[in-house]
Structures are given as structure tokens and as C-alpha cells.
Chains A and B, each alone.
Chain A
Amino acid sequence: MERITVYELESMYRDSFRITGFRFGEGEKTMCIVGSMRGNEVQQLYCCSQLVNRLKSLEARGHIAEGRSITVIPCVNPYSMNIGKRFWPTDNSDINRMFPGYDLGETTQRIADGLFREISDYRYGVQFASYHTPGRFTPHVRMMRTGFESVEDAKSFGLPYVLIVDPVPFDSGTLNYNWQIWETKAFSLYTPETTRIDRISATRVINSVTRFLTRIGAITYHGRAGHQSDVIEEDHLISIQTPEAGIFEPMTEVEAQVSEGDLIARVLDPYEGDVRCEIRAVCDGVVFFRHSDPLVYADTVVCRLIPLGEFKPLRG
């Protein structure tokens, strides 16, 4: 293993800003894994740290394949992590909206450029990602439909689901999108948690990455078997909104299977404790996403279901 400084920026009153990477093996740039990009992505940092640890032990036992190299970058934004802020400390910009970056531009454009120069020519790219709305996800691989996406490869992670998403304009600055445009096969991996550590789901995600590395011949180690992934399109998910605001009381977990009419959550009056509304499954399904904050606004999505059976979504 080689510890490398991928990018460095000097500061007036803080230690230099550094993006640090860990390289295993030599030769073809086979896979790059990127962890937290926002200051609250602690689970993503943790997943990378455990992956580095696993790869170190595999390397020590000679399991990194000849002529292949794997790079892990646990954290792209230590400055924000160290002060508990989600985005860039001064101007609040999001590094994951600045790709492919610009070396003469604003600070976060320069950071994106410095990182992308190092990682844009890998064959495969993996990002441990989080979502802008607070909530828990079923572990899955998310891919943007760019014309370069590779669904068959995505299944090799062996996570329960592969989700295909149509990019919106706002996505054009993300690492995943730009990796694909520059012909790296890119995958975003989601786990239920972001701001706190969930060891069990972290282990699942690390297993899925090593499983993938085995299948592409980058490591020679046979780990646990995974799932046969279901491929779903984002617009086939059934969104359920709450009409009421208040205290949010979830009655199911992600990955749970529910039948039409089952209670998913309740919204309580924050002063008197009465049930303001019950959120029920509108079809048989698997809970793919659910809101996780203890408070909830009205008219906001609190749950997304993967429909099961004969259900045909009504869309207009």
C-alpha cells in the first residue's frame, strides 16, 4: 500500500487542505473508490476506512492481482468534516456539484479538478454517496442513465437493488456523471446511514466492493455470496407523501416487505400526541426509502416503495 496526497491547498490559518489516497497493487488503473465528499458523510468515511483495512490484509496475503491497481480516497473534504459542516466552509458550495472542475476557477472547482485529474482514467469508479433529503435507503447501486451506464456490471456488486435514475440538470456536476462522460464505469453505492455509523450495512457494502473486485479479476479472494440484484427504474418507485406535519413515527424499516394498507408511519400532533394521520402502503411493496428525521413537514415524501406483484403505477 502506498499513501499518496492527491491534492493539497494551502490556507491562511488552518493546516493545509489535503485529499489523501491509498493505492494497492501496480499497473492498470482498475478501480477507484471515493468516500465522503460532504462534511456529514461519516458512514461513507467509515466504509472507506474499513475497505482500506480489508485491502491491506488482502495485500499482505498476496491477494491483489498482478498488474492491477486499486485506489481508495476515504475523504474529499476533511475541512468540512472537522468543523461539522456539510459543504465548503466559506462559500457553502458542494464539491460534488463542481466536476469535472476547473483549475483556474473557484476554490471548490479547483479541488474537483485536482481530484478528477487523478481519478478520471480508472476503468471503474465507485462512490459511497448520500442524498440531499434526510432518510434511510435500502442498500443499492445507483446509476445515472447517461448512455454509458453499465447495468450488467452494476449487478456484480450483489447488492439487493440496482436503481437507474434519469439525471436532472443539477446532476451534471457530480463525480458519478462526469466519470461516466469520461468513460469510467461509475457506480454510486448507498447505505441506510449517513451521519452515524452503521457497522452492519458498512460490512455489506465493503463485501459488495470486494465481490466486484473479485469478479473483475482485481483481487483473488472469494468472499461471501451476494444477492441476485433486481434492476429498478426510479420512476417505477411509488412515492408516498404525508399530508400533515408533526412528529414522525416510523412503523417499518427499509427493506421490509409490506402489503397494501399496512401502516408505514404515523404523524403525531407535537403538542397533544394525537395521531394526525396514518401513512399506509398504497400497494404491496418493499420499503426502499423512508424519512428518518423525528419531525416532518407537510406535503413531503416520507416513503418510497418498490412495487411488488401486479401493481401498475398510475402516473399522470
Chain B
Amino acid sequence: MIQDVVSLRLPVDEDLRIVKNRIAPEGSTEGMKRICIVTGTHGDELEGQLVCFELNRFIQANIGHLKGIVDIYPALNPLGIDSITRGVPGFDLDMNRTFPGNLQGSMPEYIAAKIFEDIRGADVCIDIHASNIFLREIPQVRINELTAEELVPLAKHLNVDFIWVHSAATVLESTLAYSLNMAGTRTLVAEMGVGMRLTREYGTQLSMGILALMAHLGIWDGSVPEVREPIVSVDGKVEFINAAKGGIFVSHIEHWKDVRKGEHLGDIVSPLTGEILSEILSPCDGLVFTLREYPVVDEGSLIARILRM
């Protein structure tokens, strides 16, 4: 059943509606668990669209196995998705820095408060992100160290390749995931693929993982495939490689591949002079889990993140 989470009038002859699809077994759902699948906070991240689509289809086709409530929110920032805008159009504001929102505030804060109230109280929430247009990410779950003890065991069901337990940062305290976790609603942030694109295999991989997690929670009693064992790591084992010069980045490696210390990862080149401005070598043995997708780089642009092995 399609339900409004928040509906709001725009200035000229249009309503802004943020909607969800509630899928539930026939009859009373009292006492049943609820899982929320949310995506589209950042309007340029689309990988979650495929996950929502596949879950919707699969669950509805096998509805007899559903033992709880699934709320699917495919577009928390509909204006952003429609206009290829990462933030909230008209406010130059990252929606994922406005939670838990404020009913007495500006429009984005008002919307954030309504969304937060709607999700709050669920048993688990999965917030699906897709990196941005600059970087490609292997399917991973990112967990604040403050909540690691409770969330890492849950995240292991999600069929991702990697779980990154990162240190707490004040600026991240306004995210949807942090706000929900602090309010007692366990929320996992999945990150995969690249902005403005779909990666079909990742979509299927995470959809399977969400079903497996639902089975673990008792929301799904159908058979689920075996999930892969993720690598769990903390900040200290992640190496960042940033561009030493502005130019065009040409990659020489593949994503999610073993590299050796000193291995040639790519170059930053100058099309004007034909020079190689900066040769990028791996600082360690490890796995490249983040890789630059967008070729133009400034000094400082992130090129890769390597998990030290």
C-alpha cells in the first residue's frame, strides 16, 4: 500500500510527496516486526533504486513467506533525484545533515522531522547510499564505532563484501542513521557502486542480503541464499590515496583487487603537455575497495582507499 510520509505544497501548482510502500501479510500485523528500506537521500545516488525494485517484486511474489512489515522508501529526496541534485534543490543543503529535523524549521528540516518520526520505532532500518559520481565503492556497510557492538553482527547478514567500522565524528551526528541509532532504531548504512549509475550485480547482492537479514529477524520464513562473509575492518587499516596534482586520472587497476606494496595503480596525466604529472603507487599490500571513477582531479581529490592486508 502506497502511503504518504509527508506531503507539502510547492509554490506553483505542485505537491511534494515523499511516499513509502508498505508490504505486510494479510490480516492483523499487531506485534509484528518492521524493517525499513530507505534510499535516495542524496539525489545523485541511484543504486538503491534497483534494490527497492527487486525487493518489492520478490516479496510481493512470495507474500506467503512474509511474517512482518516491510516499508520501502525509494526516494527521501524526490526533487533531488528528479533534478540530479545531491542536496535539497533550492536550499543547497545536504539532507543527510538535517536529522532528526525540526517541525518548526525550514522546509528541509520539516521534511526530515516527518521522515524521522515515520521510521523511528522500526526494528531495523537499512539506509542505502551509492557513493557519488567520483568514486566507485564495493558493497559495504559503514558503522560508527559507538554502535559497532550491536550493529556489526546484524550487518554480517547483509551479504556485503566489507564492513567498515569508522571513528565517531561530530559532523556525522546529524545523519539519518546516527539519529535513528541514538533513538534506539538500529540502522545500517549500506554504500555501494557509483553515483548516477546502476550496478546490477550489486543491486541483486544487497537485495539477497536484506532478505537474509529479514529471515534472521523472523520477518521472512522463505529460503534464503547463503551470504558471503564480509571483511570487518577499523579505520586504522584503511589507507587513503589523494591526488598529489590536478589533472586527468588514468587507472591501471581493477576495483576490489589485491594490490602489492609499490604496485602501479595509475597516473595523473597532463593532456596539454603529454607529461605524467604524478605516478600513483600502492603504499601497502591490500584490497582496493574505493576507486576513482571520475577522471578529472584537483590536488587532494580522493583516488583510492585500500584496506591493508
Binding site for B on A (CB under 8 A): 9-13, 86-87, 90-92, 97, 104-110, 132-133, 168-170, 172-173, 239, 241, 244-247, 270-271, 295-301
**Interface membership of B224, Cβ < 8 A:** no
Residues 159-177 of chain B, each 1 if its beta carbon lies under 8 Å from chain A, else 0: 0000000000011111000
Q: A132-B93, A172-B171, A298-B8 are in contact. Are A106 and B301 (CB under 8 A)?
A: yes
Q: Are A298 and B247 in contact (CB under 8 A)?
A: no
Binding site for A on B (CB under 8 A): 8-13, 16, 86-87, 90-93, 97, 104-107, 110, 132, 134, 170-174, 240, 242, 245-248, 270, 272, 296, 298-302
Q: Are B91 and A133 in contact (CB under 8 A)?
A: yes
**Closest chain B residue, CB of each to CB of A241:** B104
8 contacts between A and B (CB under 8 A): A107-B300, A132-B93, A133-B91, A245-B10, A247-B11, A271-B12, A297-B8, A297-B90
Give the secondary structure class of A's interface. loop
Q: Are B92 and A296 in contact (CB under 8 A)?
A: no
Measured between beta carbons, the chain B residues less than 8 angstroms from A172 are: 170-171
Q: Are B242 and A244 in contact (CB under 8 A)?
A: no
Expressed in whole angstroms, the Cα–Cα distance for A299 and B246 within the complex equals 44
Expressed in whole angstroms, the Cα–Cα distance for A92 and B88 within the complex equals 13
Q: Are A86 and B92 in contact (CB under 8 A)?
A: yes
Q: Are A106 and B300 in contact (CB under 8 A)?
A: yes
Q: Are A90 and B298 in contact (CB under 8 A)?
A: yes
Expressed in whole angstroms, the Cα–Cα distance for A9 and B301 within the complex equals 12
Q: A133 is contacted by which of B16, B106, B298, B299 (Cβ under 8 Å)?
A: B106
Nearest first, the 8 closest Cβ-Cβ pairs linking A and B are A169-B173, A107-B300, A295-B11, A245-B9, A172-B170, A300-B107, A297-B107, A298-B9
Least CB distance, A103 to chain B, in whole angstroms: 9
Q: Are B300 and A110 in contact (CB under 8 A)?
A: yes
Expressed in whole angstroms, the Cα–Cα distance for A261 and B117 within the complex equals 33
Q: Are A297 and B11 in contact (CB under 8 A)?
A: yes
Q: Are B171 and A170 in contact (CB under 8 A)?
A: yes
Least CB distance, A73 to chain B, in whole angstroms: 20
Q: Are A301 and B172 in contact (CB under 8 A)?
A: no
Q: Are B242 and A106 in contact (CB under 8 A)?
A: yes
Measured between beta carbons, the chain A residues less than 8 angstroms from B10 are: 245, 297-298
Q: A107 is contacted by which of B247, B248, B299 (Cβ under 8 Å)?
A: B299
Q: Are B11 and A296 in contact (CB under 8 A)?
A: yes
Measured between beta carbons, the chain B residues less than 8 angstroms from A168 are: 174
Q: Are B301 and A107 in contact (CB under 8 A)?
A: yes
Q: B299 is contacted by which of A10, A170, A270, A300 (Cβ under 8 Å)?
A: A10
Q: Are B242 and A11 in contact (CB under 8 A)?
A: no
* Given A12-B248, A12-B272, A246-B11, 19 additional A-B pairs, CB 8 A: A10-B246, A90-B301, A91-B301, A97-B171, A105-B300, A132-B93, A133-B91, A168-B174, A169-B170, A170-B97, A246-B12, A247-B11, A270-B11, A296-B11, A297-B16, A298-B10, A299-B107, A299-B110, A300-B107
Q: Are A301 and B106 in contact (CB under 8 A)?
A: yes
Q: A92 is contacted by which of B86, B107, B245, B246 (Cβ under 8 Å)?
A: B86
Q: Are B12 and A132 in contact (CB under 8 A)?
A: no
Measured between beta carbons, the chain A residues less than 8 angstroms from B296 are: 12, 90
Measured between beta carbons, the chain B residues less than 8 angstroms from A91 are: 132, 134, 301
**Closest chain B residue, CB of each to CB of A291:** B106
Measured between beta carbons, the chain B residues less than 8 angstroms from A173 are: 171
Q: Are A270 and B298 in contact (CB under 8 A)?
A: no
Q: A10-B245, A12-B248, A244-B9 are in contact. Are A110 and B299 (CB under 8 A)?
A: yes
Expressed in whole angstroms, the Cα–Cα distance for A273 and B302 within the complex equals 51
Q: B300 is contacted by which of A12, A87, A109, A241 (Cβ under 8 Å)?
A: A109
Expressed in whole angstroms, the Cα–Cα distance for A179 and B97 within the complex equals 22
Measured between beta carbons, the chain B residues less than 8 angstroms from A106 are: 242, 300-302
Measured between beta carbons, the chain A residues less than 8 angstroms from B302 are: 106
Q: A12-B247, A90-B298, A271-B13 are in contact. Are A104 and B107 (CB under 8 A)?
A: no
Measured between beta carbons, the chain A residues less than 8 angstroms from B106 are: 133, 300-301
Least CB distance, B83 to chain A, in whole angstroms: 14
Measured between beta carbons, the chain B residues less than 8 angstroms from A97 are: 171
Measured between beta carbons, the chain A residues less than 8 angstroms from B247 are: 12
Expressed in whole angstroms, the Cα–Cα distance for A229 and B247 within the complex equals 51
**Closest chain B residue, CB of each to CB of A110:** B300
Most buried by A among B110, B270, B296: B110
Measured between beta carbons, the chain A residues less than 8 angstroms from B240 are: 104-105
Q: B298 is contacted by which of A9, A132, A296, A298 (Cβ under 8 Å)?
A: A9
Q: Are B246 and A11 in contact (CB under 8 A)?
A: yes
Least CB distance, A213 to chain B, in whole angstroms: 33
Measured between beta carbons, the chain A residues less than 8 angstroms from B13 are: 270-271
Q: B8 is contacted by which of A105, A108, A299 (Cβ under 8 Å)?
A: A299
Least CB distance, B176 to chain A, in whole angstroms: 13
Expressed in whole angstroms, the Cα–Cα distance for A161 and B13 within the complex equals 39
Least CB distance, A139 to chain B, in whole angstroms: 22
Q: B242 is contacted by which of A87, A104, A271, A296 (Cβ under 8 Å)?
A: A104
Measured between beta carbons, the chain A residues less than 8 angstroms from B87 are: 92
Q: Are B11 and A170 in contact (CB under 8 A)?
A: no
Least CB distance, A19 to chain B, in whole angstroms: 14
Least CB distance, B308 to chain A, in whole angstroms: 17
Q: Are B110 and A295 in contact (CB under 8 A)?
A: no
Measured between beta carbons, the chain B residues less than 8 angstroms from A12 are: 246-248, 270, 272, 296
